[in-house]
Amino acid sequence: MAKRKTIKVERLKELVNLYLLNSRDDNAGLRYGNAALLEQVLHETGNYRGYGYLNAENMKSSEFGFSMGVNTSVVGARKYLFMGHCFCRPLD
């Protein structure tokens, strides 16, 4: 039997948050799916601490995206998901 492979939840959160920040605006559906999957993992592991919307300052560092926060013209708002014991927003 093959050895079981795992990934740390913190690493998964980092990868998804990077994708949420850096994806192209037309990848809203993928952003939504990635965020939903990560939210479920965080809930099931007892690590969910909420989310915040990315703002204009955050988006200055985005590689491909321009839309931010609750943007009614782009489906799939840009979020940043939190985990751990404090509610903090490391992007600000």
17-36 pLDDT, tens digit each? 899 888 888 888 888 889 88
Confidence check: pLDDT of 61 > 50: yes
* First-to-last C-alpha distance (Å) of the chain: 46
Instruction: Return the minimum-mean-pLDDT range out of 28-32, 51-55, 81-85.
Output: 81-85
The backbone region for 58, taken as left when phi is positive above 0, alpha when psi lies in -120 to 50, beta otherwise, is alpha
Res 69: pLDDT: 57
Q: Which two tokens stand for residue 39?
A: 């939210």
Instruction: Give the integer Cα–Cα distance in Å for 21 and 72.
Output: 17
pLDDT score recorded for residue 15: 93
More confident residue, 42 or 1: 42
- The stretch 49-58 carries a mean pLDDT of 82
pLDDT(5) > 80: yes
Residue 16's beta-bridge partner residues? none
Q: What is the mean pLDDT of residues 63-84?
A: 63
Amino acid identity, position 9: V
